[in-house]
Structure 1
């Protein structure tokens, strides 16, 4: 849980903007993980088109990884670890899209956009995470 010192230097608008960004990421990633845990046919078909086969076991494994990383990101004491793990996961998704020649701005860079939201939300809502980032004082 963030301490008073962690949130003291964060203005209310920045705090709520960070929470909103993080909330959007959390909802999206939990949905993404949940559909892989089921797994819906669209998931296995998409995995097959991407060259991973239509393995339900792989889909469930990826869903579990997604949910665990997202929960780590959502819980304040482990949010930095969760952000690091989500960044790696999103990088793997981007690499998969590069490999199959997906459209750049809509599919390849979607993981990058989501990663910016992960770290931007964390930076806005958690002062202690700023020490890890390039633009800290």
Structure 2
């Protein structure tokens, strides 16, 4: 059963703000990787990733974030970013990092999907692809 009630302006604005904050943080990380900043390289290598992978990680993160930003592809971008965040959780578990460091990507994932849910009223992945 479809619910065709319009989304309130407050929900839309909260959705856009959350999506914007998440997108800015992901894009900052992507740019740091693409520019191979000292911090990005040090962070990646300390977690066991080779220095040569930093640019590729930046490309993947930037493409998936742009897909998340574009309304027609936000569902697809969210799925890819969810995989990215799952990899971050796995990396932190392998390295025995603190619970906060391990759960932080999970919180990002919740906010990522919350932004879509607030705007569309549903978080069915395949319905997101058929929305537009």
Q: How does 1:1-137 map to 2 (within 5 A)?
A: 9-53=6-50, 55=51, 57-105=52-100, 107-127=101-121, 130=122, 132=124
Alignment check: 8 A CA contact 2:19 2:112 kept: yes
Give 5+ residue unaligned stretches, structure 1: 1-6
In the TM superposition, structure 1's runs of 4+ consecutive aligned residues that sit over 3 Å from their partners are none
Alignment check: 8 A CA contact 2:47 2:91 kept: yes
Give distance in 1, aligned partners of 2:17 and 2:95: 33
User: Taking structure 2 as the reference length, what is the TM-score of the superposition?
Assistant: 0.87
Give distance in 2, aligned partners of 1:8 and 1:74: 24
**Structure 1 residues 40 and 22: alpha-carbon distance in aligned structure 2, compared to 1, 3 A threshold:** same
Give distance in 2, aligned partners of 1:24 and 1:113: 13
Deviation of 1:9 after TM superposition, in Å, equals: 2.1
Structure 2 counterpart SS, 1:51: coil
Structure 2 counterpart SS, 1:109: helix
User: Taking structure 1 as the reference length, what is the TM-score of the superposition?
Assistant: 0.84
What is the root-mean-square deviation of aligned Cα atoms in Å?
Answer: 1.7
Deviation of 1:98 after TM superposition, in Å, equals: 0.7
Alignment check: 8 A CA contact 2:113 2:123 kept: no
Q: Deviations over 1:45-88 (max 9, x none)?
A: 122211123x1x30000001000000000000000000000000
**Structure 1 residues 60 and 76: alpha-carbon distance in aligned structure 2, compared to 1, 3 A threshold:** same
Higher relative contact order (CA 8 A, sep 6+): 1
